[in-house]
Amino acid sequence: MTIILERVYGSAPRTPGYRVLVDRVWPRGVSRDSLALDEWCRDLAPSHALRTWFAHDPERWEAFREKYLAELGERQTELKRLREVASRECMVLLYGARDTAHNQAVVLREAIAG
């Protein structure tokens, strides 16, 4: 199972594979065509309350991770479907956060990989 994380902003070449946007809100200034998406899983993104509380503060990372995994625990059907896709082909999780180490895609990859 290969799950790659890719930031939607920047000049890096697009990684081929099943491309999933994992942000709850659409990234500003990014066109739908430019992402070459297969799907947008906004329901798997952190809740608005959790996202607002976290505010990408690295000091809150561990607590965010635990709370987000708890939220994902209620989304097992969707996670199972993504696991099945990831077992067949490379999956690319797209996100907009600046911090490449402390964002929801990192946690979601962990949850999908099991």
Arithmetic mean of pLDDT, 20-27: 95
Supply the pLDDT for residue 12: 67
Q: What's the pLDDT band for 10 if we cut at 50, 70, 90?
A: confident
CA distance 78 to 31: 25
| DSSP 3-state of 20 | strand
- Indicate whether 22 pLDDT > 90: yes
**Cα–Cα–Cα angle for 5, 79, 49, nearest 5°?**
75
Q: Please list, in sequence order, all residues whose beta carbon lies within 8 angstroms of the beta carbon of residue 72, skipping any fewer than 6 positions away.
A: 44, 79, 107, 108, 111
| Phi and psi torsions of 3, nearest 5° | -125, 115
What are the residues whose beta carbons fall under 8 Å from the beta carbon of 55, sequence distance 6 or more?
Answer: none
Residue-wise pLDDT for 39-73, tens only, equals 999 999 999 999 999 999 999 999 999 999 999 99
Helix (H) or strand (E) holding 40: strand 39-40
Separation of first and last alpha carbons in the chain: 11
pTM for the complete prediction? 0.93
- Give the model's pLDDT for residue 46: 97
Residue 81, pLDDT > 90, answer: yes
